Amino acid sequence: MISDSGYVLHKRDYKDSSEIVRLLCRQHGLVDVLAKGSKRPTSSFKNQLQPFLPTYLAFTGKSSLKTLTMAEQTAISRGIPFLNQVSLLYCNELILLLSMDEHTAVRLFPAYEQVIQAIQDNQRLVAHLRRFEWHLSGLMGYQLTIPDSVTETDCLSFDAVNGLVKAAHNQGCEVTTLRQFIAGSSMNQQQWQQLSRLMRTVVDHLVNGQPIRSRELLS
């Protein structure tokens, strides 16, 4: 038996009374488990497989699909604003759309846990979502280094081959804005808009252009 802590990313029905659940676990990364009988009213899994809540888990099996034997959530669901809920869904959707190995998923877990808590606490959504995207892009192999050849007044765009490159004026994210973001300094609304446009192109590349349905609700 394997024990771990983690979060529910996604559930889908399996036969009449069970579900297949994708988990993000602290020690084992992304894990697919079969929750047998989880849809039955008397199931021990009832109300224990909600997304965005820390969960103690146990599962068995040697195949890629494990069998869930225990799930105990250690927090209670609380009412949060609609945009916060959509932001949480967006984080989950990004992970589900990526091809991520176990080592990468384990490294992602602390950042995921942090952004989930911040969004639930109603902190500034745009800042935490951009930092999560930034961290995710680094884990997927894109460090997004500012080129040495640019000046502070230059603008940057994302190129799939070369990373960050100098862009036409007013067509990207200003170098100054990106430096402030990296340093964790305060930024105004215009700067966040610049950064959001830049990170949108990065994320689109990471997911190979697949539609991100939750993004439409954040627009």
Q: Domain ranges in the chain?
A: 2-73, 82-213
CATH superfamily of 82-213: Recombination protein O, C-terminal domain (1.20.1440.120)
Looking at the chain, list the stretches that DSSP marks H as alpha helix, in order from N- to C-terminal side: 82-97, 102-120, 125-139, 175-183, 189-206, 213-218
CA distance 209 to 22: 22
Cross-strand pairs, 72: 56
pLDDT by 10s per residue, the chain, length 219 = 999 999 999 999 999 999 999 999 999 999 999 999 999 999 999 999 999 999 999 999 989 999 999 999 999 888 889 999 999 999 999 999 998 999 999 999 999 999 999 999 877 899 999 999 999 999 999 989 999 999 998 999 999 999 999 998 777 899 999 999 999 999 999 999 999 999 999 999 999 999 999 988 876
Residue-wise pLDDT tens digits, 184-216: 999 999 999 999 999 999 999 999 999 999 988
pTM of the entire predicted model: 0.93
* CA-to-CA separations, 49 to 13, 52, 61, 95, 195, in angstroms, rounded: 13, 9, 19, 18, 35
CA distance 206 to 108: 15
CB 98 within 8 A of CB 24: no
Dihedral, CA atoms, 148, 149, 154, 160, nearest 10 degrees? -70
* CA-to-CA separations, 50 to 76, 110, 127, 160, 177, in angstroms, rounded: 9, 19, 25, 36, 37
Domain 2-73 has CATH 2.40.50.140: yes
Domains 2-73 and 82-213 share a fold: no
